[in-house]
Amino acid sequence: MSDRPIFRPGFAAILALAAVSAAALGLALYMRYWVVEPAVVGLACDAGSMTTICVVRRTFIGIFVWYGFGGAALVATALALLRPSNLLIGAALIFGLIGVVNYNTQLSALALALLPLVLARPAPEREFQPE
């Protein structure tokens, strides 16, 4: 058993993670319901329109067709399990929430389900400890 303390994000980090999660959820909902799903946008983009919305839509669809959001969430969660950090937790939350809302449910849900295990890991050791 390790005598290192358990990893716990501070209060400011928890607030930042909540804000980042809310922003990711808002972005995911916007992309799904106002860019990807509307038939009008799809027909305009399929007709050859090269607007910014169509380029973003094609890129976004290409990412979720290849399970990019779920895969990124799973990789970020695995790295956070190996070495806990607020940055990796934030990345896993962002990609996981975007993936769950936008059709990458299998890998994203797995990543989000494993994410609380990060809080059971020992905190990483400091690399430099002054004397």
Any domain includes 19 = yes
pLDDT value, residue 123 = 85
Mean pLDDT of 35-64: 95
Any domain includes 130 = no
Confidence band (pLDDT; 50, 70, 90) for 2? low
Of residues 122 and 31, more confidently modeled: 31
Nearest alpha carbon to residue 97 among 63, 72, 126: 72
Any domain includes 24 = yes
Would you state the structure tokens that stand for residue 30, as one six-digit string? 């916007």
Any domain includes 2 = no
CA 82 to chain centre: 17
- Tally of domains within the chain: 1
Residue-wise pLDDT tens digits, 76-129: 999 999 999 999 999 999 999 999 999 899 999 999 999 999 999 888 877 766
71: containing domain: 11-120
d(CA 112, CA 106): 10
Any domain includes 50 = yes
pLDDT at 1 over 80: no
pTM of the predicted model, to two decimals?
0.90
Residue-wise pLDDT tens digits, 6-29: 889 999 999 999 999 999 999 999
Q: Say if CB 74 and CB 40 are below 8 A apart.
A: no
Any domain includes 4 = no
Mean pLDDT of 22-43: 96
